[in-house]
Amino acid sequence: MLVLTRRDGEAVVIGLDILVVATWWGGEPRLMVSAPGYVSTEDPVGKLRIGDDIRVSVLGTSGECIRVGIDAPGDVPVHREEVFERLHGIGDAGLVTGH
């Protein structure tokens, strides 16, 4: 399991097209997902299953930070959103800026 700490509104990119955003909702940590074919539902415990082999969960909090645990196959890249953007030449406006 990979564990990343995210602040409210910060995201993790799984593969090339799954975006998981950590956020606070009603005083509780939550995960929001944008992925092809994924139907989001309200989950009070902060656990998500994406497809057959990816699991994402809130492991805990510390102050304003949310600890996110990600279980994914070893061949699926997982990056903090800001690292993914640098690796793929994506600027602040979400536009590819070149390699």
Residues 6+ apart with CB under 8 A from 91: 85, 97
What does pTM read for this prediction? 0.81
Question: Are 1 and 71 in contact, with CB atoms under 8 Å apart?
Answer: yes
pLDDT in tens, the chain (99 residues): 999 999 999 999 999 989 999 999 888 899 988 888 776 655 545 788 888 899 999 999 999 999 999 999 999 999 999 999 999 888 654 544 444
Domain boundaries, the chain: 2-87
**Residues making up the chain, counted from first to last:** 99
